[in-house]
A and B are shown apart, each in its own frame.
Chain A
């Protein structure tokens, strides 16, 4: 049921660091309110592709790209677009939890504050923490340091922090790679709930995770100088049970990569 309502699209996207091409002519549609997984061997440009969606790569001096990245139909890399405007609409959760060395409350309140939120901050913080399924664990110690939380709690706090600026898309770069299986399941459950309201793109090395949570899967690979090419993209059910490309099949059955 491929519905034609993409929220993010890339068109012939190639990404370079200096002279090095690390994403090659990728054309991909990320659908609204779905979870899209990006899988592939290490160093094939998955993180780079993900970071194009919220212009995080702008921070790297040697970065440049060709092709287009569209968000709700508008080119993100148009000179008139302000990257900071993009980034709170397209939130990002990182591989390693990176809470600020501030209180739990201030971590969640940071985004709304800097974006000039003038509603009730306490309500927004509670709502965000509840959405991230961590409210019950922290509601009695909102003032204590976020660094006192466990890794899994920190990651959910980072998700809450992202939700607090009310994004429409959430990008996640291996969000569970530093977590234990129980915390991982909690985050996966959370992603499924969140996908009712948000569009989610997740990079993962964990095939089972991609198969479990995602609706669509993109498989990136490197072949010679064509690093980061999109080999196959489609519904996860199909990619994981009946891949069309033999390279995809080889990868998901663990025969290489």
Chain B
């Protein structure tokens, strides 16, 4: 039988300490690189575009002259798209999540649906663009309209919304449901009056975060035929439209330095909108959670 001398332990302890330190440095390096890249990106964009961001940039339509070009139509297009996508995906997503969590139990259909939803969340966005083109633009005859774009984005974020809504619903303790049933509440009354109000803040956070992902999507909108030059504001759900990322994409493809600046300015606006929506999600969640 081998005898372990105390010195063996000491050596091992030395090595363990050393390993721990090396791992810590590695992690620190990783976060520094990640944050550093982000910082470089922000500084680069900021230097290039900040001087370009002003009211006339936000309130003007696109133009052939870089100094006059603005993002009003693209910004409005993005806002309308996001509102349509948000409402549609909220209604469908919550409905689907309630079905899967409260009604389906363990039946086969629900299991298959569940697996597919998880897979759909990973489908590339351009595929949703092709789907939107076939269904909304052509079959339903909506044309290359805001409505078609909004519906397409709604489909794109639907899987994530369903999954996050399911998690929010699952987080409501069973004792609350039992309390409702024990008073003679029907399933519908229990879900509507007890489960959904408690899950609401979680659901809303999921919706806002997914919608803020949708606002940056370019590929599916290009596929369904969003315009790059829209010298008018959208005047209804069937209006043709542009969107911020598409406008930015268009400008970056131009040779003139002025358009490069406009693109950087557009990115700044897009980032501000994004940050604003994420902040809204956090504020709403805190509000609603404090209230209950």
Binding site for B on A (CB under 8 A): 54, 56, 59, 61, 84-89, 91-92, 94, 96, 98-102, 110-111, 114-115, 145, 147, 158, 161-162, 165
Q: Are A114 and B182 in contact (CB under 8 A)?
A: no
Q: Are A161 and B183 in contact (CB under 8 A)?
A: yes
Chain A contacts of B180 at CB under 8 A?
100, 110, 114
Binding site for A on B (CB under 8 A): 105-106, 173, 175-186, 189, 193-194, 198, 292
Q: Are B182 and A110 in contact (CB under 8 A)?
A: no
Q: Are B193 and A110 in contact (CB under 8 A)?
A: yes
In the bound complex, how far is the Cα of B106 from the Cα of A56, in angstroms? 19
| Given A61-B105, A98-B176, A87:B194 Cβ within 8 A | no
| Given A61-B106, A145-B292, A92:B182 Cβ within 8 A | yes
Q: Are B184 and A98 in contact (CB under 8 A)?
A: no
Q: Are B183 and A59 in contact (CB under 8 A)?
A: no
Q: Are A98 and B175 in contact (CB under 8 A)?
A: yes
Contact of B194 among A94, A100, A115, A161 (CB under 8 A): A100
Chain B contacts of A110 at CB under 8 A?
180, 183, 185, 193
Q: Are A84 and B184 in contact (CB under 8 A)?
A: yes
Contact of A56 among B178, B185, B193 (CB under 8 A): B178
Chain B interface, >50% SS class: helix
Q: Are A114 and B181 in contact (CB under 8 A)?
A: no
Q: Are B175 and A96 in contact (CB under 8 A)?
A: yes
| Given A61-B106, A100-B194, A111:B183 Cβ within 8 A | yes
Distance to closest chain A CB from B187 (angstroms): 9
Distance to closest chain B CB from A64 (angstroms): 15
In the bound complex, how far is the Cα of B28 from the Cα of A129, in angstroms? 58
Q: Are A101 and B184 in contact (CB under 8 A)?
A: no
Chain B contacts of A115 at CB under 8 A?
183-184
Contact of A91 among B183, B189, B194 (CB under 8 A): B183
Distance to closest chain B CB from A149 (angstroms): 14
Q: Are B185 and A54 in contact (CB under 8 A)?
A: no
